[in-house]
Amino acid sequence: MLIPHPILGSRDAREFIYLGDVRLLDRPDATRSDAEHSFCDYVFLRDNPAGVHRELWFHEQGDRSWLVVTRNTTTHEILGAELARDVALARKRSAQ
């Protein structure tokens, strides 16, 4: 698989380490009263869709950036990649 890195261009997937579902960006608020429940959900539960999946990849043997890759889990086709930082900042902005 080739991952279209937004800065470095097309890179071999073996330069990356896979973490998983992009929801891992949404760390729950530890100060809320339901934190125990929401952390359990955050750490252990996954949607696991057959089809389009947004997921975190770390460019370990490259620029060490985190990417959000959009990929089809039934065909392995990669539909896009963004810097995870940009995705996280955009979410924060829209949450404010």
Total residue length of the chain: 96
Distance CA(38)–CA(3), nearest Å, equals 32
Q: Pick the closer one to other proteins by CB: 30 or 50.
A: 50
Q: Is residue 78 within 8 Å of residue 3, measured between CB atoms? A: yes
Q: Which of 26, 27, 34, 73 binds other proteins (CB under 8 A)?
A: 73
Between residue 51 and residue 70, which ones bind other proteins under the rule CB under 8 A?
A: 53, 55
Residue 74 interacts with other proteins (CB under 8 A)?
Answer: yes
What's the closest the beta carbon of residue 82 comes to other proteins, in angstroms?
A: 17
The CA angle 72-7-83, to the nearest 5 degrees, is 55
Q: Pick the closer one to other proteins by CB: 38 or 65.
A: 38
